[in-house]
Structure 1
Amino acid sequence: MVGKKSGRAQLREEGLARTDNNLEQTTWPVVSMINQKNYYTEFLKRDEQYLAVRYPQEEERARMVREARDKDRALAKGVSTTEATDEAADEAGPSHSRDDPSKLIVLHVGSQNLRIGLGSDALPKSVPMVIARRWEQSESEENEGEPSPKRLKLEGAVPADALPEKWFGEDFADQYMAMSSELRTRMRSNKRRVLPNSKDLVTNFNRRTPPEIISEHNDVDRIDWTELPTDPKKAPEYFTGRAALRIPENSNPRYKLFWPIRNGTFNEVDYAGRNQIYHDLSKIVEDAFRSQLGITSLKDLGNYKCVFIIPDLYERVYVTMILDILMRDLGVGKVSLQQESLSATFGAGYGIACVVDIGAQKSSICCVDEGLCIEESRVNLKMGGADVTETFIKMMLYGHFPYSDMNLNRRYDFLLAEELKQKFCSMDEDSVTVKTWDFHLRASGQDTRKYTFKTYDETMLSVMGLFKPSIFDHSKKLDGRRTVIPRSVDLYDGSPNDPISQAQVTVYEAAAGKPVNGALESGGTTAVASTPQRPGQLNPLNRLNDNETPRSSVAGSPAPEGTSTPNPDRDTPMGDGEQTLIFRDPVLEKTKIADERDRTLPIVPLDQAILESVTQGARGDERKLRDFLGGIMLVGGASKTPGLREFLETRLREQRPFYGKEILVGPPPREFDPQVVIWKGGSVFGRLSPAGNDSWISKAEYDMLGGRLLNNKCMFAW
C-alpha cells in the first residue's frame, strides 16, 4: 500500500513548486517611489544658475586670480608691492582695464545725426546719419524732380511763379493767416507794437530784390565738395556722413542719399528689404568708428565697451538689430543699453525730472524718478525740428522769398535751410518785427549768390507748429509702415509685445479723434488722474484715509437670477441660455489694436503731451505732480530755439493756473549744450564701477543666448 504523500512533495513532483533563481524579469532599471512628503528641487532658484548672472561673476573671479598671480610673480622678482601692482596692471593690457574711459564708446543714434565719442571726450562728435550709394538718379531727380516742399500745379493764364500764395493750397494759407492773426492779437494784449502793413513791406521787398553774384575766387567761405575720380568705374560704392552731403548733384556717377532712421525708427519708404537697412546702419557706424574715434581695425573693438542709448518707447526689433550690428557685425567687446530720458538725468545730475527731448523728427517725453523711467509716462511724438525747417521754408516762399527755387531734396538746399532755421527762428515776441537778413547760396559748379530778404512773423510761427501741429505736413510719415520690417511678437502666443504706456495710448486716442478725459482736453483744470483705473485695480492711497467707515468687500455681490447683466468678456448678455456665446481671442484683439495704432500718427500739441506725461507719471501723488512740473528739462537740438523755454512755461501756466508757481521749464545745468546732454549721461553711466553694474552684455554671452539676454541685462522692463 502506497503511503500518503505530503502537499510539498506533490508540488515538487508535479513541477508546481516555486523556485527562486534570482533572475530579474526585465533589464530596465526599476525606480523606487519617492517619498511624497520630502522632495525638493533647486532648479532655477539661485542666481548662479542663470548664465547672465554667472558669467560676469566667473569673469570677475578670473580677473582677480589673474591679478593676484601677476602680483605674486612680480614680488618673486623682488619688486615692491606698489610697483608689483603697477606692473601687473601693465601686463594685463588695455583689454583688462575696466575703468579706462578711453576704451568706452558712447553711441546715440538719431534720425538726422549720430553722436559718438569716447568716455574720455568732453563732447561727442556729430555725424549726419546718412549714406550715399551709387544710383541711377539722385534724390532730387526722382519723381520727375518734384520739389520739397511740394508745390501745387496751378493752371490758368497767370504763371505759377507769380502766385506763391497758392503754391501750398488753401488749407495751409488759412492756417497760416489764422496763426498770424492770433499772434498779432497776443502781441497787442502784451502791449507790443504791431505795424498793420508789415506783411506788405516784406512781400514787396522780397519780390524786387535780385541776388548778388560773387565769383568763386572772391568767396572766402567756399565749400570743399567731395571729389570723385574722373573714371566713373573707379568711384566708391558709397559715402557716409558729411562727405555724402557734399557730393555734387550732377556727379558722375550719380549718388542717392539714404537715411536708414526716420522718425525714430526704421525708414521703410526708401528701402525694399531688411538686409539693406542692416548693412547701411553697419557701414555708417563702422565709418564713424574709423573717422571719428580713430579705430582703424575692427579687431581692436573687442577691447572696447559701448553704451548704446535707445529711445524711451523703443521698438524691440530696432534695439535687437542695432545690438546685433554692434556685437556680431562689428565685434564690440561689451554693450550696455540705456534709455534717453534716464541718460539726460545722468548728464544733468537730476534725481527727479520730466525730460522733454525735441529731436529732428521725434519728440519724446518721460518722467524720471530715482534713476528709473516711469513706464506709464512715456510719450513719443512723430514731429520735431525737421518739420519746423520745412514749415519755415514754406512760410518764406509764401512771402515771395527771393530764392523761389528752394528744394529740400537738393543737398545744398537742405543744408542751407537748416542754417537759416538755426540763425533766424526764435520764439521771442521781441523778434517779431520786419528785419533784413542775407545769406549765401553755394552750389557745385556755380558762382556764389548772395540774397537779401526780409522776414516778419515766419521766424516764430514756424516754431509755433510744435504747439499747433496741424500746420505741419504729415502726409508721408506713415508711408511704408510695417511693410519691410514686421513688428515684434511674443515667442509663445504671437501677440505684439512692443512696450506701450498709458500716456501714449491717450495720445493715440487724441490723434485719432476719440474723446479723452484729463490732460489732453483743451481747457479747464486738470484732474490728478487722466484715465480711470482699470476694474479690480486697487489704489493704495485710499488706505491712508483715517477715521472713515470700513469699506465693504471688494468682490461684487452675485446678480439675481433672471437678470441680463452684461458680461464684458462675452458678446452676448448672460442669462439667456439659448443664445450662442462668442468668446474673444485675446491675441487677435491685441493684434487689431496694434494695427490700428500703426495707422494712427501720434501727433498732439507739445504742451498737452507734457501735461499728460506728468499726470500719468504722478498717478495721483500730489507731491510727485508738483516735483515733475517744477523739473521740466528741455533737451535736443530743436530745444535750442531762443525763447522756446519761456514760451512753453507760459503755455503750461495758462493751462494749469493752479500750479503756476510750481511750473518751471529749465535748461540743462552748467551751461550744457542741450544736444549733448543725453550723450553725456551715457558717458557718466558707462564710467560707473563695473562691479555694481550688471547691465553689460559680453560677446560670449550674446553668441550663446542672443537677444534673450535682454530679459536679465536691461535695467528697465524689457
Structure 2
Amino acid sequence: MVGKKSGKALQREEGLERTDNNMDLTTWPQVNMINQKNYYTEYLKRDDQFLAFRTQNEEATNRMVREARDRDRALAQSSRGVTMAGDGTAGAGGDAMDVDEDLVAEDNTAAVATQEARGSKIIVMHPGSQNLRVGLASDALPKTVPMVIARRDKENESEAGDGEPSPKRVKIDDELPEEPEKWFGEEFSKKFASMATELKQRMRNNKRRLLPNSKELVINYNRRGAVETISEHNDPLRIDWTELPPNPAKAPDYFTGQAALRIPEQSKPRYKLFWPIRNGWFNEHDYTNKNLLFEDFSTIVEEALKSELGLSRRKDWSQYSCVFVIPDLYEKNYVISILDIMLRNFGFGKVCFMQESLAATFGAGYSISCIVDIGAQKTSICCVEEGLCSENSRINLKYGGWDVTETFIKMMLHDWFPYEDINLKRRYDYLLAEELKQKYVTMNESDINVQTYDFHLRAAGQDTRKFVFKTYDETMLAPMGFFRPDIFDNSWKLERRRNLIDRSYDLYDGSPNDPTSIAQNFALEFYGGIPTATNGSADGPSSSTPAPSSLAPPSRQQPASFLSRFNDLESTPRTSVANSPAPDGGPGTSTPQPGRASPAVGGAGGLGDGSGGPAAGPTAAMPVYDPTAEKIGAAEARDRVLPSMPLDRAILASVAQGARGDERKMRDFYGGIMVVGGGSKIPGLNNFLEQRLRELQPGLAKEILVGVPPRDLDPQVLVWKGASVFGKMSSSGNDSWIGQKEYDVLGSRLLMHKCMFNW
C-alpha cells in the first residue's frame, strides 16, 4: 500500500520545489537592520577620536617619554660619578649625600632653564589702536612699536580732504571766525562751561581756594602769543627725521613704526599714514580694500619681528609659537583673520589666544579682580574670577587716551592757545599733542591753578619755535571726559562700519553669533537710546538683570528696553531650525525675506508685501515670528550705536553683572578694581575714580578700592606681561595651542575646542 506523499515530494514532482543557486539578486552590499533595542556607538565620544585632542595627547606622551629618557640618562651619569668618588675612601657616604644635594640643585636649575628656554621660543603680541607691544616670553619687558605704516601716495594725510585740520574748526560763511571760542560750535562751548562749573563746585566743596578771574588771566596771556625762534644748530633736542634718497624713484614703498612718524610732511614723494586698527576694530574708515588692510597689519608685525626681535629669517619662524592678546568682547571674524595670518602668512608653529583682562590678572597675580583697561581709543571693563572672564560683565567703550588728547587741544584752542595752527593730522603736531598731554594733564585738584608752561615746536626743515602759554582747568577737564564722554568727538567713529568686514553668522540658522553681554547693552542704551537685545550667540542665553539706579544718565530717563522680552524668549530652549525649509531667497539665505519678516515694533508684519499691514486678500495674514530676522535686526541696531558711557557708571554695571547678586563677589570685585593701560597713567586718575565710585555707592564706600599694578609694574605693559607668563606655562596648564597640522584639517572650527573662553 502506497503511503501519503508529503507536500515537498508533491512540489518536487510538479516542479514547484524552491531551489537556491547561491546567486544574489543584486551586487550592492546589503546592510542588516540595526537592533534598536541594543544600539550603541562610540563615534566621536572619546577624545582620541578627535584630531585636536588626539594630537595634544600624542604630544604629551612624546614629551613624557623624552623627559623620562633624560632623567634616566642623568641618573646613570650621577651614579657613575658616585661610584668613582667612593672608591678607596672612608667618607664615601658623606660624599654621596653632597652629590645628592648637588643633583637636586641641578634639577631645580634645569627646571628654571627649561622654562626660560620654552619662553625664548614663544612670541607674545598685544596689538592696540596706537601701539604694538611685542617680545619673547623670556623678556622682562616688551618692545613698543607704533601701530602705523606710511605708504607712498599722491598726498599726505594732512593734505587729504581739502586740508581740513583736526580738531575740525567750524566755519561761518566759509570763513573761520576770529574768536577761538566759536571754532568748535556753541554746543562744545556749553559743555565746556558746564564741566568748568561742576569742577569749581567740587573744588569749593573740598575747601580748595579759587581765584575769581583765573580764566581771564589765561586768555589775556595766551592772546599775546609769545614765540621765540631757535636755530636748529642751537637746539640740543632736535629730532632726527627719516631720511629719503635724493631720487624719489628710489624711495621705499613704505615705512613702519617710529620711522613712519618721522617722515617730513613735505617729503618727495609724499607718504600717507595708515593705522590698521582704530577703536579696537580693524580700520574700515580709512581703507577701501580688505586685503590691503590685512597686508598692512601683517607688514607692521613682520617689520617689528625683524627689527625689534632680530628674527630676520622667515624660515626659522616655524620653530616659534605665538600668544596673541585679543579684546574681552572680541569679534569672531577678527580672531579668525588673525589666526589665519599667524599660521598661514607668518608660518608660526603654534598659536593661542588670550583675553586682555585675563592677561592683566596673570600679570598682577590676582585671582579675582575688576579690570579697567584704558587704551588709546577704547576702554574695556571686565570682571575676572578664578581665571575666567565673566561673560555678561564685559564692556567695550569707544573712547580712550587719544580722545583726551584731542579734547585737551580743543580746550586749549578755545582759551586762545598761542599755537593756533595746530593740526593733529600733521605728524609733528600729533607727537607734540601727545607730549603736552603726558606732561601737563592731571586729575589732582591741588594742581588746578594758573600755571605757566612752555613747549618747543620742531618741524622738518624749519627752525625750532618756543611757545609760552598758561593753563587753568583745561588740564583736568580733558581727562574728566572719561566721566562725561559726550564732550568727545564721536562723529566719525561709526563711518563705513561693516563696509569691509561683515559680522559673523551661525552656520546652521544664519543668525549673528558675535559675543555680547548684558553690561554692553547697558552701554549701548545709555546715550544711544536704541533698544538692543542679545543675539543668541555662543555665549548662550542670558537672563536680564535690572540696571542699578545710578546707571540712568543725568537729566534724562532711561530708554525703554526690550532686553527682557528677548531674554525671556532666549531663556527657553528651542529646537534647531537647521532642518527647516529654506526661505524664498534660496538655501543659505541669512537675511530676512519679505515673506518672513518679523513684525515691526508697534505693528504686525504681514506675509504679503511686508509693509506692516494685513496682507491683501479676503483673509488677513497672521504675523510670523522669525528668530533669525529678529537677531539680525538687533545686531544691525547695535552696529548703528556707538558704545559710550561714563567710566564710573560702566564699572558699576560690569560689577553688577559679574556678581549676579552675590554680595561676597560684589565686595571682592569692588575691592580689587585695577586700572591698567596707557590712558591710566594720568596723575590722580585712580583717586578721582575711587571718589566717584564711593559717591555712587555710599553703602559700599569702605569696600571700594582702586589699585595699581603690584611690584611697580608699568600699567601699559601689564597685559603683555601676563600673556608672557601664560605662554611659559607647561602644556598641562595651557592646552589651547593651535598647531599647523590640525588647522590645515579643521580650520577655524578648532577655536571652539581650543579657546579657554566660550567660543
What TM-score does the superposition give when structure 2 sets the normalisation length?
0.83
Matched, 1:247 2:248: no
Give the equivalent residue in structure 2 for 1:664. Answer: 705
1:238 to 243, 249, 254: 254
The CA distance in 1 between the partners of 2:510 and 2:564, in whole Å, is 29
The CA distance in 2 between the partners of 1:464 and 1:6, in whole Å, is 109
- Give the 3-state SS of the residue equivalent to 1:286 in structure 2: helix
Give the equivalent residue in structure 2 for 1:115. Answer: 133
Question: Would you say the 8 A contact 2:123–2:322 is kept in 1?
Answer: yes
Structure 2 residue identity aligned to 1:686: G
More displaced 10-residue stretch of structure 1: 405-414 or 28-37? 28-37
Give the equivalent residue in structure 1 for 2:118. Answer: 100
In the TM superposition, residue 10 of structure 1 has moved relative to its aligned partner by: 7.1
% same residue: 63
Structure 1 residue identity aligned to 2:552: E
Deviations 1:423-474 (A, max 9, x none): 0000111111000001110000000111111000100001111101111111
Matched, 1:151 2:169: yes
Give the equivalent residue in structure 2 for 1:520. Answer: 551
| Distance change in 2, residues 1:449/1:699 (3 Å) | same
The CA distance in 1 between the partners of 2:20 and 2:757, in whole Å, is 68
Structure 1 residue identity aligned to 2:630: E
More displaced 10-residue stretch of structure 1: 373-382 or 301-310? 301-310
Deviations 1:236-255 (A, max 9, x none): 11110000000001111110
Unaligned ranges ≥5, structure 2: 83-98, 108-113, 532-545, 556-560, 572-600, 606-618
Matched, 1:39 2:3: no
Give the equivalent residue in structure 2 for 1:368. Answer: 384
The CA distance in 2 between the partners of 1:628 and 1:71, in whole Å, is 45
The CA distance in 1 between the partners of 2:177 and 2:419, in whole Å, is 12
| Distance change in 2, residues 1:634/1:17 (3 Å) | closer
The CA distance in 2 between the partners of 1:7 and 1:59, in whole Å, is 71
| Distance change in 2, residues 1:196/1:155 (3 Å) | farther
Deviations 1:344-376 (A, max 9, x none): 111111111110011100000000111110000
The CA distance in 2 between the partners of 1:9 and 1:351, in whole Å, is 90
In the TM superposition, residue 24 of structure 1 has moved relative to its aligned partner by: 3.7
Give the equivalent residue in structure 2 for 1:700. Answer: 741
In the TM superposition, residue 387 of structure 1 has moved relative to its aligned partner by: 0.6
Give the equivalent residue in structure 1 for 2:595. Answer: none
Structure 1 residue identity aligned to 2:390: I
Spell out the pairing of 1:701-716 with structure 2 (5 A cutoff).
701-716=742-757
Spell out the pairing of 1:287-298 with structure 2 (5 A cutoff).
287-298=303-314
Deviations 1:73-119 (A, max 9, x none): 99999996999x9xxx9xxxxxx989522112111010000011111
Structure 2 residue identity aligned to 1:229: P
In the TM superposition, residue 535 of structure 1 has moved relative to its aligned partner by: 4.3
Structure 1 residue identity aligned to 2:165: P
Spell out the pairing of 1:380-395 with structure 2 (5 A cutoff).
380-395=396-411
Deviations 1:200-224 (A, max 9, x none): 1111111113311111111111101
Give the equivalent residue in structure 2 for 1:260. Answer: 276
Give the equivalent residue in structure 2 for 1:204. Answer: 220
More displaced 10-residue stretch of structure 1: 496-505 or 58-67? 58-67
The CA distance in 2 between the partners of 1:74 and 1:627, in whole Å, is 48
The CA distance in 2 between the partners of 1:306 and 1:608, in whole Å, is 36
Give the equivalent residue in structure 2 for 1:163. Answer: 179
Deviations 1:533-576 (A, max 9, x none): 954999xxxxxxxxxxxxxxxxxxxxxxxxxxxxx99969xxxx
| Distance change in 2, residues 1:359/1:80 (3 Å) | farther
- Give the 3-state SS of the residue equivalent to 1:691 in structure 2: coil
- Give the 3-state SS of the residue equivalent to 1:100 in structure 2: helix
Deviations 1:222-271 (A, max 9, x none): 10101111111111111100000000011111100000101000110111
Give the equivalent residue in structure 2 for 1:54. Answer: 54
Total equivalences in the alignment: 673
Give the equivalent residue in structure 2 for 1:634. Answer: 675
Matched, 1:276 2:277: no
| Distance change in 2, residues 1:387/1:363 (3 Å) | same
| Distance change in 2, residues 1:123/1:22 (3 Å) | closer
Question: Would you say the 8 A contact 1:570–1:584 is kept in 2?
Answer: no
- Give the 3-state SS of the residue equivalent to 1:201 in structure 2: helix
Give the equivalent residue in structure 2 for 1:491. Answer: 507
More displaced 10-residue stretch of structure 1: 394-403 or 9-18? 9-18
- Give the 3-state SS of the residue equivalent to 1:449 in structure 2: strand
The CA distance in 2 between the partners of 1:117 and 1:23, in whole Å, is 73
Deviations 1:643-676 (A, max 9, x none): 1111111111111111111111111111111111
1:330 to 346, 350, 375: 346
Spell out the pairing of 1:432-511 with structure 2 (5 A cutoff).
432-511=448-527
The CA distance in 2 between the partners of 1:532 and 1:596, in whole Å, is 17
The CA distance in 1 between the partners of 2:209 and 2:242, in whole Å, is 48
Deviations 1:155-201 (A, max 9, x none): 49xx8463111111111111111111221122122211111111111
Unaligned ranges ≥5, structure 1: 90-95, 525-529, 539-567, 573-577
Question: Would you say the 8 A contact 1:570–1:582 is kept in 2?
Answer: no
The CA distance in 2 between the partners of 1:347 and 1:458, in whole Å, is 34
Question: Would you say the 8 A contact 2:363–2:721 is kept in 1?
Answer: yes
The CA distance in 2 between the partners of 1:384 and 1:233, in whole Å, is 40
Question: Would you say the 8 A contact 1:326–1:332 is kept in 2?
Answer: yes
| Distance change in 2, residues 1:41/1:439 (3 Å) | same
More displaced 10-residue stretch of structure 1: 421-430 or 172-181? 172-181
The CA distance in 2 between the partners of 1:61 and 1:81, in whole Å, is 31
The CA distance in 1 between the partners of 2:153 and 2:59, in whole Å, is 48
Give the equivalent residue in structure 2 for 1:548. Answer: none
Deviations 1:137-167 (A, max 9, x none): 00000011110000111349xx846311111
| Distance change in 2, residues 1:201/1:137 (3 Å) | same
| Distance change in 2, residues 1:537/1:245 (3 Å) | closer
The CA distance in 2 between the partners of 1:18 and 1:212, in whole Å, is 120
Give the equivalent residue in structure 1 for 2:611. Answer: none
Deviations 1:598-656 (A, max 9, x none): 00011111111110001111111111111111111100111110111111111111111
| Distance change in 2, residues 1:535/1:135 (3 Å) | closer
Structure 1 residue identity aligned to 2:484: K
Question: Would you say the 8 A contact 1:164–1:400 is kept in 2?
Answer: yes
Question: Would you say the 8 A contact 2:674–2:707 is kept in 1?
Answer: yes
Matched, 1:402 2:418: yes
The CA distance in 1 between the partners of 2:7 and 2:441, in whole Å, is 119
Spell out the pairing of 1:298-313 with structure 2 (5 A cutoff).
298-313=314-329
Question: Would you say the 8 A contact 2:526–2:553 is kept in 1?
Answer: no
CA RMSD of aligned residues (A): 3.3
| Distance change in 2, residues 1:80/1:140 (3 Å) | farther
The CA distance in 2 between the partners of 1:5 and 1:695, in whole Å, is 80
